[in-house]
Amino acid sequence: MLLGDALADRASKKKQLEQVEARAASVARFQEGEQPAENAGELLDQGRRLIGELRDLARRINRTNSATELDPGFTLTDALAMRDGYAAQYRLVTAIADAGAGGVGRGIGWGRQLRSELQQVSAVEVADLRAEADQIAEARRRLDVRIQQAGWSTELLD
């Protein structure tokens, strides 16, 4: 099984688990004299099996990520951490740029009603932050392509 297949399988199993949990919770109590639509005990067992399968997949995925090198000394695990860092950087820079621009697009705005009102000024160079955000997004996209390529060319370890 390829790493990419395992990741898709993990996502599917997580969704299944959420659905099983919701279904089990909805039939865990029922009115006396009525029959629940499903057996809560069977759903609980199904959820437990899914959790075991997810645990095994996570262990194998993590082992594979740690052993797969994209470059010498740079593993897939390193790349995933770097991608998360890019995402955090992007959120930070765009949030500050948005605030510096007066919350444009977020319904905040800095318009003045009267000339006597104080005008708000930006404490940051919004254009520079937007350019930085674009560079971060591009670096993240390039890294994400490499991660995806590795996922579809790497066999999952046991």
Per-block mean pLDDT, blocks of 10 residues, the chain (158 long) = 97 98 94 92 97 98 97 97 98 95 58 68 92 98 97 96
Q: Per the structure block, which two tokens stand in for 85?
A: 């860092």
Distance of CA 60 to the CA centre of its chain: 19
pLDDT at 81: 98
Q: Per the structure block, which two tokens stand in for 82?
A: 């770097």
Q: Is the dihedral of CA 100, 104, 109, 115 positive or negative?
A: positive
pLDDT at 122: 84
**pTM score, whole prediction:** 0.81
Angle, vertex CA 139, rays to CA 137 and CA 142, nearest 5: 110
pLDDT at 89: 98
The torsion angles phi and psi of 69, rounded to 5 degrees, stand at -100, 125
